[in-house]
Structure 1
């Protein structure tokens, strides 16, 4: 059982790293920002704010997952880590619903990604 949880953590870490790189590419204007955030960003200033927040949130989740997988020395208590992961689980469920109603097909595709994130978080949390 623990094997499945460890694999879910590793897969989620890889996916989050890829998503973080994607958001960095938007921030650097390598990828146009009109395909992200449901096509609702109006200008560069909004993009910088939203992408910066997104990158920070993704890095925070990566850090929490590293704690959950015992891959870092500094750790919050297991209870705190699990509470944070449950919060992210709910956020990903809500984000999946939001992505289904996005303006762009590209963003709608991310409903699959956020749904997978929610599923993997559930697998990780179910093993507690």
Structure 2
């Protein structure tokens, strides 16, 4: 085995990645977003949503742009409002998850994420709930 400062005869992308990346502790919600049955493009957008990095009205205010919710006129367009607090999106969310999460969750973002992450349902239901969450986002 060679040290990190020695050159080898062949290139290894995995070894290079391990050398250049900054390792961080694993976040508690990582398995909620990244799982084998997930769709990468949905996982990426859900990852942005969980980190609250989507370009919502509340984020655009920092850029000097004022944007209300295009659907209802609410002045505080936030991630939480768009996906679950807005009555129409919440109603759709309840129809999508139907019997997967009982009793139905409140429209609170953190409660929904916490209940899905709790894993109090079977394996298949857990996969379906995580996929439904990502597709909804």
Query: Structure 1-normalised TM-score?
Result: 0.36
Higher relative contact order (CA 8 A, sep 6+): 1
More helix per residue = 1
